[in-house]
Structure formats: structure tokens, C-alpha cells
Amino acid sequence: MIKKIGILTGGGDSPAINAATKAIFLKASQYGYKVMGIKDGWEGMIEGNLFEITRETVSGIHAEGGTILGTSRTNPFKVENGVEKIKENMEKFELDAIITIGGDDTNGAITRLTQYGIKGVGIPQTIDNDIAHSDYAIGYESALEVVTDCIDRLHTTACSHHRIMIVEVMGRYAGHLALNGGIAGGADVILIPEVPFDYDDIINVIEERKAEGREFCIIVVAEGAKPAEVEGQVSSSGEIDSFGHVRLGGVGNVIAKEIEKRTGYGTRVTILGHLQRGGKSTGFDRIVGIKLGVKAVELIHEGKFGEMAVIENGIVTSVPLEQAIKEEKPVDMELYEISKIMH
């Protein structure tokens, strides 16, 4: 019988995690479960840094960005005796199960940990929105609004100065955020990781617009996009995290240099960076968080461990964690085709 559960957030934070945390607590309380917050992702579970969540803890947090739990990119399988320490702390804090709120890495870790007898369920949370079988991951919709608003703002100054504006958007190896944000913001060119780009195509759009009297151009580039001839990822820092991912960022500057070299047109780069993950969540995103939070607790109540709560084709349901982690979520190629006529 379940008496006590833990919640952790791993990987990059995003708005609306707190709405999910509150929903988890309230639903768990309805079942009579105690809820422990695990600080800073897997790091807290390894170090035994947990605290009890009470009604007071969650009061009003649904509207706050970030995560009251803290987060980290700690990979428990890269920490010496990480799995043993997690098992010890599960016992010490009498946790019957863990809910993990995060992307592929965090949920991939609980997937592997289930093989060691640790019970858990996952919740998709990443502004990248790249988790298979879920229409939405917590945080995506809020980030989409930020990206759209920023592109709107860049339009006015691009137009005044007759400039080429490059907007670099997060999303790691997936183009969901860049594609949707780019279309919503009226970008003239959208470059995504799924489709390696050719500089000639970009220049053609710029020149076509010039010929029609539209002397500015907005180019949205996903941080994971790259020219067809480049192997690997473009990264100005080259840093690698504990899950083996290179820290992306910098492709916008590479493109700007090439465009200036080829055309001589004034070009500016805006890297949206962590602004996309900060601040308040949208109402829609909070609802996503609340629905997934409640579903995760229900899964625990039904003994359905090793599952991920998802919203698939608009329906709140669950899929095996293993399946959600293994599969890729394809970018909407119909929308990508539409993006090519939107300039």
C-alpha cells in the first residue's frame, strides 16, 4: 500500500512545474499519501536532501515560474554508487514511489531505475516539447508565447533599420519550439534541426523579399539546426553535460557572418536563451501541468508504475516510460512546408 511519495524535477526548468507540483500534492492528499519534495533533481535523491511538502508549501505556487523543488542535470548513473544511494534514501525516507518531472534524461533515469526495484512514474516537462506520445510537455506553451512575443518585437526594429534579424531559439535537437514560434511570429525563414539547411535558400528568400520592396527579413533558427555540410552540432561553448549532451548555442552567429559575407546586408542576432524558460506560465500550460500531475498520482494509486502521464491527441492517458523515452517525436512536417510559403 502506498503511504508516501516523492517528487523531483530534473533537467532544465520551465514555467508551470509548480502548478503540477501543487496538483500532485492535492491529489495525493486526497488518497491520504504524504508527499516529499526531492531537492535539485536526482542530486537530492542521492544526497538525501528531501523535505515534506505541506498545504502551506503549495499555497499560491501554481502561478509562480521555476520550480520550488530546484533542479539539476545530475545523472544518477554517473555518480559513484548513485543507484545504491537512491535505494538507501528511498528506505530512509520511506518513499514508496517517485514522480519525475522532466525530459528524456530525467525520465530515462527513472525508466532505468525501475529495473533496480524503484517504483516511479514520469511527467513530460521541457520547453523542447520533444517527448513522444505527448502533445504537450509542461513548459512548452509558455515558451512558445515568449518566442512569439520576442519575434513580434524584433519585427518592428528589423523593419525600421531594413535589417536581417536572426532569432536563435532553444529546443536542443528538436524544432518544435522554433517552428511553431517562428510561424506564430511571422518569421520569413525557419531553420530546424530536422532539415539541414542550405545558405542559398536563405539568401533567395532575402533577395526575393528585397525585390518586392520588403527590406527586412526575420530568420528563426533552432539552436540545433545546422548547414547540410556541417557534421555534429554547432556549439560555441563545446561543454558536455552528464548525460552526454553538448551545450548548444551559437549557430545564429555563424549564419549571420555568412549572410553578411555573401550579401553585405546589415544582420543582427538575438539569442533568446533562458528568457524562454523564465517567468510566469500561461494559463494553458498550468492546465497541462495540473492534468499531468493528477494523472501521475492516479497512476501510482492504480499501481501502474513505469508509466508516463501524457496528453495524447487531446486525451489524458499514459504510455510506458520505456516507449516514450525510446521513440522520437516527429516535428510537424506539414507545418514546416507551410512555413516555406510564409514570407
> Looking at the annotation, which residues are catalytic?
128
Of 41 and 76, the one with the shorter C-beta distance to ligand F6P is 41
203: left (phi over 0), alpha (psi -120 to 50) or beta: alpha
Is 66 among the residues that bind ligand F6P (CB under 6 A)? Answer: no
Q: How far, rounded to the nearest angstrom, does the alpha carbon of residue 116 sit from its chain's CA centroid?
A: 27
Of 263 and 282, the one with the shorter C-beta distance to ligand F6P is 282
Rounded to the nearest 10 degrees, the angle between the axes of helix 176-184 and helix 140-161 is: 50
Stretch near ligand F6P under the rule CB under 6 A, chosen from 84-92, 125-133, 258-266, 290-298: 125-133
Laid out side by side, the sheet with 120-124 consists of 50-53, 34-38, 4-9, 97-102, 120-124, 307-312, 315-320
Of 29 and 242, the one with the shorter C-beta distance to ligand F6P is 242
Stretch near ligand F6P under the rule CB under 6 A, chosen from 107-115, 122-130, 229-237, 314-322: 122-130
Is 12 among the residues that bind ligand F6P (CB under 6 A)? Answer: yes
Is 293 among the residues that bind ligand F6P (CB under 6 A)? Answer: no
Closest CB 143 distance from ligand F6P, rounded Å? 8
User: Which listed residue (67, 71, 126, 129) binds ligand F6P by CB under 6 A?
Assistant: 126
User: Which listed residue (248, 251, 310, 324) binds ligand F6P by CB under 6 A?
Assistant: 248
What is the C-alpha separation between 113 and 75, in angstroms, rounded? 11
* Residues in 212-241 at the binding interface with ligand F6P, rule: CB under 6 A: 223
Closest CB 150 distance from ligand F6P, rounded Å? 15
Is 175 among the residues that bind ligand F6P (CB under 6 A)? Answer: no
Is 127 among the residues that bind ligand F6P (CB under 6 A)? Answer: yes
What is the C-alpha separation between 85 and 107, in angstroms, rounded? 18
Q: Helices (H), strands (E): how many in the chain?
A: 12, 11
DSSP 135-164: S--BTHHHHHHHHHHHHHHHHHHHHHHT-E
What is the C-alpha separation between 33 and 26, in angstroms, rounded? 10
* Residues in 253-282 at the binding interface with ligand F6P, rule: CB under 6 A: 277
Of 76 and 300, the one with the shorter C-beta distance to ligand F6P is 76
What is the C-alpha separation between 232 and 212, in angstroms, rounded? 37
What is the C-alpha separation between 252 and 259, in angstroms, rounded? 11
Closest-CA residue to 144 (of 124, 170, 164, 166): 170
Q: How far, rounded to the nearest angstrom, does the alpha carbon of residue 149 sit from its chain's CA centroid?
A: 18
Closest CB 15 distance from ligand F6P, rounded Å? 12
Number of residues interacting with ligand F6P: please give it, by CB under 6 A. 13
Closest CB 265 distance from ligand F6P, rounded Å? 29
Of 34 and 39, the one with the shorter C-beta distance to ligand F6P is 39
**Footprint of ligand F6P (CB under 6 A):** 11-12, 103, 126-128, 170-172, 223, 247-248, 277
